[in-house]
Structure 1
């Protein structure tokens, strides 16, 4: 709008405001809302008997409306002679005691301690330059001087970062600071709403500075104050509210199925995250029932990392099957207590309506959807901090199939399951072992009940990750002579330990196999041993260190040969289009070193997770340039694919078809794994033939 200043410096210019009010004339200008939208919080902190200094009054009707409801000790000041003259003339007859004076807010000339309140609506925002806060600082100092002990500076502001930081840091020393976050207000200038909320900063002057900072944030005019420990925490909380309202503003516009904004709702008393809401819109071309505007889907506890809820592709599929214009997918946070489904719905109902799609009828019923109708179950059984990855959580959850699972979650990416194992009941397993003491083929145990954590043990025969199953199945490509050779047992080098399920499975069920694991993070090894049943011995060893450097060292030493080298390591750089492995693991020089470490019959297995098609093509070209025979096995419903790379093609050229003998070898390997069961009633639960049925030649 042409009436608004173009630069921050103009806001603090007397000449600018002279031009502004001359051009505007009689029409009142209401920054950030009028009396009706602000009266609740203003009456809370300013009493009718108070002597009030209105700083930078402009031609707002706020002072007049306050006067009309009993506030008769208002002193209004403004730097503009034009607006002061106009406001005095406008109120001379109807409000003779309402005074307007042309004064500089940085040096008013009033006696110290002569006011009980100072009211500022937009003036601080106007004076605070992003480049230089000196002028605004002088105004705040003057306000502090003229206020009496117990007096309050009440500032209506948009809380731009440089503005609110200046004010809070100024008053945090010796004053109580409270900020109210109001809803985005309707301006008098247009029919559009502010994208950002309006805040009311209330600073109370103490006679003596308290021994600690008093910093509080309230939602709405009557919200309970949440205490913040430091100025940065308070500023961060303000920023979160602004981001939330900006998202709401965007969601009230046109829908976009490719955009899935997420919002975090926090517990009012503690400020800790309680719900994460992801908004998923249907494609414009989708055929939907006319009345299906909006629905809320509550994800069961412990299931938020499932592909259907934790990935963009899964959420798109979920929204498509639900058949609503907009689906809000709600995940509950760990370390929060939830009574039941009805209580969750009651808690969310007044909040989620803000996320309704544009054009939804006002009286439209909004259904809550769920799986099974209950909240699910999750128990956090361990926590810790990794020096490399930060905080982590080990938790037991109930899966969709009714079984219990144990998961390792790194909190910097809590939507991703780092490692997972299925659990068995230790009590049932022990009883089953006695019952089947003389039997050679124990049966699979049933899903455990919700017993204590000590009664749950990891089922080492079950691999939760399909790509782990493919890697195990890939051993069939070595041939059964190699797998069953006691004199030259299969040797495996695995980079990336996780919970240890893959190396433990190979150790337990592949005859005489020798496995060396390289893991960068000592905390991961500790978690694997403490919570996932991982056990090292002379055939299963772990080297702590950088996998890249370890491979380089082994290659330079010479004399090291492995039948299988596996890469199952994720990238910490989320900006890349490839989350597994890190790019350095698929550079040509390293691939050549891997090739040289393999025996003539050797295999290189790579878990590849790449959403960037051009990057994936580049990786496949590099791998194919080093290994003469490369197969790919995609993972249904996931981005993962496993590359099975042979050191030799066996025929001196790149194959065009899958070997006919592979399916028979797969059946033989299946028998061998089952025959090698050593810890009843733990049985390898993997279909080797199925894992190799969808191989494609790269």
Structure 2
């Protein structure tokens, strides 16, 4: 069916249209064009933006799905219509053909001169209202990340989170945690929010050693998880919150008790595993999706044991049950790493269901006297953040913040009681252990709200 050009003359909230056309310079190379209008319409003259899909990443959910397109659009709130242009791909390619991506060393022919050859197409796809002041200039947006290579190693679907994939990647500027500049990671992503990495861990070549000759993503050398470090940006800051009650935790350990942590939201299980293996915690981890937990065990090194107990269930219902069941004992820290299942208005963490007094009160009731609550926060708006802070302050005694530094995440840390232990008063064995596994910059960046 032919596409009516007049379709694009007006903006229609959340309308998504994709189609293919011949490349204007290489007629035997079809292009996929996807056009998405913002769910929020402008009050004044609209702004249209365009993006060339990075070559080799056309089947990545970030660029090939409407939800990925939406997240790209929402990351540029001034844009009313975002047009993606890239090489065409066959629907359904991803599940059946393992696709190895390597970042091209130089621009391809279809990337060269994109601003010139795409201009007539972009103008034809722009709304009439954009021409009120003459022929507009349409900005070309760039997608830049640190991905060098990637390969999907597993794909499946969960009853709650939907389709997900596990991918091994090599990234640049990863800090050289293990291999002096070359950094290999394993990631978990959900199709419902493909731009958000749910879990990320270090992986190392099976052959071992520091020599990486012949080691590459998608090659003959396999990789295994390395779980002694936290590389997901906000997990280190969440654990750093333990500096606030470190003396209390040290006293519990000295008295023969194992500190206890409750993790609401498991993902790949990196946080639960780290708390157990590096800090000696007994951990209860709760996740609503059984398939996510299977993936965590099979690909991310999560191992249930006497000291890691995994519960399949709703986080909020599990909190209520723990309040009612005093036999489980109380926790030294509750860690909340949950996000909203609806990303139509942008990524939100924690979900709005968490920002309720009864839920926060339940979280406080499962904490021991000097326990703390650590929350990963991705605020979709200033109002959301202020509202969350206000609700927490109504229930908890003190509130602290760590800015993760990635322009996206914050970690909020609330105390169940006024702090009578100050981290700087004395050196304790638990604090020394914490400093040995968490960058001290995080420990020093905690500020009181």
| TM-score, normalised by the number of residues in structure 2 | 0.71
CA contact (8 A) 1:476 1:662 kept: no
Instruction: Tell whether the 8 Å contact from 1:500 to 1:534 is kept in structure 2 after alignment.
Output: yes
Note if 1:516 corresponds to 2:277: no
- CA deviation map 1:64-100 (0-9, x unaligned): xxxxxxxxxxxxxxxxxxxxxxxxxxxxxxxxxxxxx
Question: CA separation in 2, counterparts of 1:633 and 1:315?
Answer: 25
Quote the residue 1:694 is aligned against. Answer: 445
In the alignment, what sits opposite 1:574? 343
Task: Verify: 1:416 aligned to 2:201, yes or no.
Answer: no
Q: Which has the higher helix share?
A: 1
Residue 607 (structure 1) aligns with? 376
Q: Which residue of 2 aligns with 1:404?
A: 184
- Tell me by how many angstroms 1:426 deviates: 2.0
Mapping of residues 450-461 of structure 1, within 5 Å: 450=217, 452=219, 455-461=222-228
Structure 2 alignment gaps of length 5 or more: 23-29, 39-47, 174-181
> Which of the residues 197, 202, 205 maps onto 1:425?
205
CA deviation digits over 1:547-591, x for unaligned, max 9?
A: 211111111122421111111111113356771222332311222
SS in 1 for 2:249: helix
Confirm or deny that 1:556 pairs with 2:324: yes
Of 285, 305, 325, 1:537 maps to 305
The CA distance in 1 between the partners of 2:183 and 2:144, in whole Å, is 16
Secondary structure of the structure 1 residue equivalent to 2:234: helix
Deviation of 1:610 after TM superposition, in Å, equals 2.1
Segments of 5+ residues of structure 1 without an aligned counterpart are: 1-178, 185-194, 197-245, 252-258, 281-292, 320-325, 436-444, 652-658, 676-683
Distance 1:453 1:627, change over 3 A: farther
Q: Does the 8 Å contact 2:285/2:311 carry over to 1? A: yes
Q: SS of the residue aligned with 1:466?
A: coil
Residue 390 (structure 1) shift:
1.8
Larger deviation, residues 598-607 vs 411-420: 411-420
- Does the 8 Å CA contact 2:33/2:84 hold for their aligned counterparts? no
Aligned residues: 393
Contact 1:407 1:420 in 2 (8 A): yes
Given that residues 577 and 615 in structure 1 are in contact (C-alpha distance below 8 angstroms), is that contact kept between their aligned partners in structure 2?
A: no
Distance 1:342 1:473, change over 3 A: same
C-alpha separation between the residues in 2 aligned to 1:550 and 1:447? Answer: 47
Q: 2:269 — aligned with what?
A: 500
Deviations along 1:323-352, one digit per CA (max 9) or x if unpaired, are xxx997767888379996415437978656
CA contact (8 A) 1:458 1:533 kept: yes
Encode CA deviations 1:237-278: one digit per residue, 9 max, x unaligned: xxxxxxxxx2xx359xxxxxxx9998645599xxx9967678
Larger Rg: 1
- Answer whether contact 1:578 1:612 (CA < 8 A) is retained: no
By how many angstroms is 1:521 displaced?
A: 0.4
1:22-78, Cα deviation, whole Å (9 max, x unpaired): xxxxxxxxxxxxxxxxxxxxxxxxxxxxxxxxxxxxxxxxxxxxxxxxxxxxxxxxx
SS of the counterpart of 1:592? helix
Say if 1:661 and 1:301 are closer, same or farther in 2 by CA, change over 3 A.
farther
